[in-house]
Structure 1
Amino acid sequence: MPLMKVLSAVAREFLTAFIFNYRFIPVFVIVVFLIKIQHEKYVALITNTAYKPMKKIWDSLQEVIFFGAVISFVAGVILIMLGVTFTPVVFDYMLMIMSVFLLFNTRYMCIVYTGGILALIATIFKIHDINVTSILVLISVMQVFKSIMIYAGAEKDCEPVYIKYDDGIAGAFITRKIWPVPVIFAVFLTQEMREIMFNTITVNWWTLFKPENFYAGVIALGLDCSVSVLSFDDMTIAMQPEKKNRETAVLLMVYSILLFILAVLSRNMALFKLLGSVFALVGHEAIYFYNRFLEKHKEALFVPVHRGVRVLDVLPESSAYKMGVKRGDIILSINNMDVQTEEGIAEALRKAPNYVWVKILNIDGQEKVYEYKSYPEGIDKLGIIIVPRENEVTYNIRYYGGFNILKNLVKRFRGDSQ
């Protein structure tokens, strides 16, 4: 079966790349190191604002490396089954473009931009060594997996921060993910390459894409591996973060499908190579700026309230999480004691009662009562991060994506979430 043959070849190339590929290994290590630096900056930003406990950096790195490897394997199988081929120099060019973009904004490390720019240059200047159609297919396939990852992690991958909003304070959520993705790709074997490539596969099935110099019914392809990056960067102040991330994931999926259609049409029509290259860049940027437009023209959701305390985030497995408190809820009272501040919450739980009932007003304007029992330990904190009133927080300002992020200097919530 062709599928089993491809699975075996991709697995073999994947293992070979991490053991013997002297060109791949150092580049992959450098990319992972750069991602580590970016994650450290991200963790510093989050832990200096709302103080939600974060994963250890090594744990986060293991996670993105693992999912990057999964994407690599499945995408490699899909690309080879489709008959998509590259010349190795394509990925050298993309790495050079990525290193330049890294100087300006880590968002541009993503294969959308490195591949899109390369495809556009190759189309305009008619560089025959670069297969534009293959690049468009690669981008579309990778974006499918990115949209799946965003959708699957919509709720758990967002982190709370405070922002400066209308001369006051509001809560917001940042989502930033960077995956290092090895790209396993097929190379059309010339006579010279046959002598240096030992991992080959014979393609004797129908493929949607074929090398330009393919005429026979059977073709031998060599397999190689390079490094790419998938990244996602977003902030929401006007929507529940999980809803915002899922909507963005759907938009990215639609973008990927449209780009794939353009790639198919570009096989025999040069005009669609140009349209596809432009759409790869403009379409992705359109989603980014559309999201920014929505955020700037909607009212902030997580703002301080005059009565009660607004919940910004609920810590996993906390008392509040177990009783059903949600992001955006307003806590009106605890055990019939009205609360207006974090100190009020602490006072209501000072004696660590075994039974707690919390009266809340949800984002739909409905009042509800949540109950929770904890015997014999009692409940001394809810495990929430609140939206403080401005006079409760001392801060300075950092910038993230055009938003003013408030860095809490008194560190009120570090290790002491209410």
Structure 2
Amino acid sequence: MNVIPELLGSLGNAVLHLLTQPYYYISLLFIALYYRWQVALERKLVHVKLHSWGKETWRTIWTGLVMGLLVSLAAILLGVSLSGTAVVILWIVSLLLLLVRVRYLCFAYSIGLLGIIQFMISFVPGAWESGGAGEVIRAVRELDMPALLALAALLHLAEALLVRLQGAKLASPLFLEGKRGKVVGGYQLQAFWPLPLFLLIPAGAGIGDLPWHPLLGGGLGLVSLPVIIGFGEMTQSMLPRRKAARTSGRLLLYSIVLLALSLLAAWWSPLTLLAALAAVTLHEGLAWYSALEERTSSPFFVHPQHGLKVLAVLPGSPAQELGILPGEVLLKVNGTLLTRKAQLHEALRMNPAFCKLEVQNAEGESKYMQRAIYDGDHHQLGIILAPETDEDLTIQACPASIYGIVGMKTGARSKQRQSQEASASAFPARNTNAEGS
């Protein structure tokens, strides 16, 4: 049997199918809108943009393509199979979850939820057998949940790798309201990648058998499945690269546990419900533990008694050329000891053609730098300082919503506006249309 030509022909048909279905284009549009929202947020808070939404969109598209091919290869070797009906069901559930919260656009939630629903309807085998609802119920019953859960595990393995490689590069600086109402610096790490997947068609659908014995079912035919993977974190207690590395490690552990449970479920079906519950609860547990970790940790991006803490450095700026890094402390500029943010600009203007800096690195050691200042250079050398404790503009430490991304609502609020909202909530207007007794 000529296996290779048959697989290549099936792959060509799957690629054409991918290019003709709307789900992949929906994912690209969503990602472009998200990065446009991220740039608007950066302009609102720090008055400059650290990222280009066009470049970030292109980078996530091509890295998602590469990772999608790798995940597809792993899924084919395992024998993960998926029908065309399952593709539609997965995307409908994912889009509905997206309307609830952006971070729910994750196959761990949609597949886990479908596994729980499949278990529940197994107790009423004769219900809803007629009409459109009956077709949907039958389609859910026929889903190969162990294979889908194994796919979710592989996607999170890919996510762990992408977070480790790119998570810190996609971080945006934030001004957050910390403990006791003081404003602190922080970062939002959030990114999405579109992955075009090519998966096996279930065995017995009029196609040939695989020439090897996979752990899960499947035949020689291929079907396309465009998916979106992504992560979202906020940190005010550590540098972005450390947060990304920690998140990546936890996602890697999660994917290994979920893959093991899904393979066991393929061997003994009663474990399917356990694997579906683990897909949802363990994923939520990771988000909960990360939030708890941030709440119980001291803020990192706050100014010390002497010097100014660097929150971020603009790409291609003089500060980046000098080697200044986020988290370091500016001690002196042109001989002036810094204790307030306004002093940085004043000290740089003391010598408009040249600057000398003393910077304290993460190890507490001082390093000395000097550089000429040219026309057109950023007025603060491209250094974004941590906020003052009484900074006027902050952002709510909550995940972005699809409505905010599409409507370009950044969630940034001034303290004056927050005070007005608090007063309004404390003294609500009387409802003149309420019914009397």
What corresponds to 1:137 in structure 2? 150
Shift of residue 238, structure 1, vs aligned partner: 0.7
What corresponds to 2:423 in structure 1? none
Q: How far apart, CA to CA, are the structure 2 residues paired with 1:45 and 1:7? A: 46
Between 1:382-391 and 1:30-39, the stretch displaced more is: 30-39
What corresponds to 2:185 in structure 1? 171
Q: How far apart, CA to CA, are the structure 1 residues paired with 2:161 and 2:235? A: 19
Paired residue type of 2:171: C
Q: How far apart, CA to CA, are the structure 2 residues paired with 1:294 and 1:11? A: 45
Tell me, yes or no, if the aligned pair for 2:177 and 2:394 is still in contact at 8 Å: no
Shift of residue 367, structure 1, vs aligned partner: 3.7
What corresponds to 1:61 in structure 2? 57
TM-score (norm 2): 0.80
Shift of residue 68, structure 1, vs aligned partner: 2.1
Shift of residue 69, structure 1, vs aligned partner: 1.7
Shift of residue 234, structure 1, vs aligned partner: 0.5
Q: Deviations over 1:45-88 (max 9, x none)?
A: 23211234243323222222222222221111111121111222
CA shift in 2, pair 1:387/1:80, >3 Å: same
Q: Which residues of 2 match residues 219-258 of structure 1 at below 5 A? A: 220-258=219-257
Tell me, yes or no, if the aligned pair for 2:175 and 2:387 is still in contact at 8 Å: no
Q: How far apart, CA to CA, are the structure 2 residues paired with 1:238 and 1:254? A: 23
Q: How far apart, CA to CA, are the structure 1 residues paired with 2:223 and 2:74? A: 15
Tell me, yes or no, if the aligned pair for 1:82 and 1:209 is still in contact at 8 Å: yes
Structure 1 unaligned residues grouped into runs of 5+ = 195-199, 212-219, 411-418
Tell me, yes or no, if the aligned pair for 1:361 and 1:367 is still in contact at 8 Å: yes
CA shift in 2, pair 1:170/1:234, >3 Å: same
What corresponds to 1:298 in structure 2? 297
Shift of residue 256, structure 1, vs aligned partner: 0.5
CA shift in 2, pair 1:151/1:283, >3 Å: same
Q: What RMSD, in angstroms, separates the aligned Cα atoms of the two structures?
A: 3.0
Structure 2 unaligned residues grouped into runs of 5+ = 123-139, 401-409, 417-437
Shift of residue 114, structure 1, vs aligned partner: 1.2
Q: 1:77 and 2:73 equivalent?
A: yes
Shift of residue 406, structure 1, vs aligned partner: 5.0
Q: How far apart, CA to CA, are the structure 2 residues paired with 1:120 and 1:67? A: 32
Q: How far apart, CA to CA, are the structure 2 residues paired with 1:74 and 1:9? A: 19
Shift of residue 148, structure 1, vs aligned partner: 0.4
Between 1:306-315 and 1:317-326, the stretch displaced more is: 317-326
Paired residue type of 1:204: P
CA shift in 2, pair 1:9/1:362, >3 Å: farther
Q: Which residues of 2 match residues 54-203 of structure 1 at below 5 A? A: 54-126=50-122, 128-165=141-178, 166-188=180-202, 190=204, 194=206, 203=210
Q: Deviations over 1:67-121 (max 9, x none)?
A: 2222221111111121111222222111111121122101101111112211222
Q: Deviations over 1:162-209 (max 9, x none)?
A: 01112211000001112222221111355xx65xxxxx7752123222
CA shift in 2, pair 1:114/1:357, >3 Å: same
CA shift in 2, pair 1:12/1:347, >3 Å: same
Shift of residue 376, structure 1, vs aligned partner: 7.7
What corresponds to 2:16 in structure 1? 16
Greater share of residues in helix? 2
Tell me, yes or no, if the aligned pair for 2:14 and 2:222 is still in contact at 8 Å: no
Tell me, yes or no, if the aligned pair for 1:49 and 1:407 is still in contact at 8 Å: no
Paired residue type of 1:178: F
Shift of residue 5, structure 1, vs aligned partner: 6.6
Q: How far apart, CA to CA, are the structure 1 residues paired with 2:300 and 2:255? A: 30
Between 1:324-333 and 1:167-176, the stretch displaced more is: 324-333
Shift of residue 390, structure 1, vs aligned partner: 3.7
What corresponds to 1:312 in structure 2? 311
Q: How far apart, CA to CA, are the structure 2 residues paired with 1:303 and 1:79? A: 46
Between 1:258-267 and 1:47-56, the stretch displaced more is: 47-56
Q: Deviations over 1:115-156 (max 9, x none)?
A: 221122223434541111101110011101100000001321
CA shift in 2, pair 1:38/1:10, >3 Å: farther
- Secondary structure in structure 2 of the residue aligned to 1:188: coil
2:40 is matched with which residue: 44, 47, 50?
44
Paired residue type of 1:51: H
Paired residue type of 1:371: M
Between 1:80-89 and 1:33-42, the stretch displaced more is: 33-42
Q: 1:206 and 2:213 equivalent?
A: yes
- Secondary structure in structure 1 of the residue aligned to 2:81: coil
Between 1:148-157 and 1:202-211, the stretch displaced more is: 202-211
- Secondary structure in structure 2 of the residue aligned to 1:206: coil
What corresponds to 1:215 in structure 2? none
CA shift in 2, pair 1:6/1:317, >3 Å: farther
Q: Deviations over 1:337-393 (max 9, x none)?
A: 222334322222223344x432233444x24023133488797642210013244x4
Identity, in percent, stands at: 22
CA shift in 2, pair 1:2/1:64, >3 Å: farther
Greater share of residues in strand? 1
Q: Deviations over 1:277-315 (max 9, x none)?
A: 111111111111111000000111111333221111122
CA shift in 2, pair 1:4/1:296, >3 Å: farther
What corresponds to 2:393 in structure 1? 395
Q: 1:370 and 2:377 equivalent?
A: no
Paired residue type of 2:62: F
Aligned residues: 387
Q: How far apart, CA to CA, are the structure 2 residues paired with 1:65 and 1:93? A: 24
Shift of residue 7, structure 1, vs aligned partner: 8.0
- Secondary structure in structure 2 of the residue aligned to 1:102: helix
Tell me, yes or no, if the aligned pair for 2:308 and 2:339 is still in contact at 8 Å: yes
